[in-house]
Amino acid sequence: MIDRFSEALLVVASKISNQRHMSAIKNAFTALLPIIIAGAFCTLFSNVVCSTTTEGISLAKLPGMAWLELLTPMFTAANYATLNFMTIGVVVLIALEYARYFNRNEFITPLVALGSFVSLCTTSVTTTVEGVGDPIVVTNVLSREFTSA
């Protein structure tokens, strides 16, 4: 019974794996995996090594190690460049995979995909500033909700 179930599941998995859309997504995320791992380590170092404000264990909370908190902006910037900007990389890499599959120009296709993605995103953000009660609309920006993981 289990063998028949696993064989049927293997057939379904094989069909899904060979489907061009799923294959392009899989290959794009595989290419992006080193960047995802680097971003995860930056988040880990920021919270476990450099943080003096979070609850729990942190190396920076030990006597004489408070200087590690000075490294937090570096890890925060690296985290933004990797995990919080991941969607842009995924869009470009999926378009590149499609270009390879259909034997199209590998330079123009990702540019068109990126332009299409950005054109579909809202380019204004409404925010409030402390001390000022009225909301402020910031235009010509790409919000993190459209670029992060």
Domain-wise residue ranges, the chain = 2-114
How many Å apart are CA 59 and CA 69, to the nearest integer?
9
pLDDT at 73 over 80: yes
- The pLDDT value recorded for residue 117 is 94
**In Å, how far are 53, 88, 92, 126, 145 from 123, measured between CA atoms?**
33, 15, 19, 10, 11
Angle, helices 86-101 vs 108-120, to 10°: value is 140
Strands (E) located in the chain: 124-128, 135-139
| DSSP tag of 99 | H
The pLDDT-based confidence of 108 (bands split at 50, 70, 90) is very high
In this model, does residue 4 exceed pLDDT 80? yes
Q: Which residues partner with 128 through β-bridges? A: 135
What local confidence, expressed as pLDDT, does residue 27 receive?
92
DSSP letter at 130? T
Residue-level pLDDT at 127: 86
Q: How many residues does the chain have?
A: 149
Flag whether pLDDT at 86 surpasses 80.
yes
SS (H, E, C) 46-59: HHHHCCCCCCCCCH
- What is residue 15's predicted lDDT score, i.e. its pLDDT? 84
pLDDT of residue 95 exceeding 80, the answer is: yes
Q: Is the pTM of this model over 0.85?
A: no
> What percent of the chain is modeled with pLDDT above 70?
100
CA distance 22 to 138: 37
Greater confidence (56 vs 92) lies with: 92
Q: What is the pLDDT of residue 134?
A: 83
How far is 56 from 44, CA to CA, in rounded Å? 13
Contacts of 20 (CB under 8 A, 6+ apart): 98, 101
- Whether 17 has a pLDDT exceeding 90, the answer reads no
Tokens of 14: 């094989």
pLDDT at 113 over 90: yes
Q: What is the pLDDT of residues 35-68, one digit of tens each?
A: 999 999 999 888 888 888 878 788 888 888 888 8
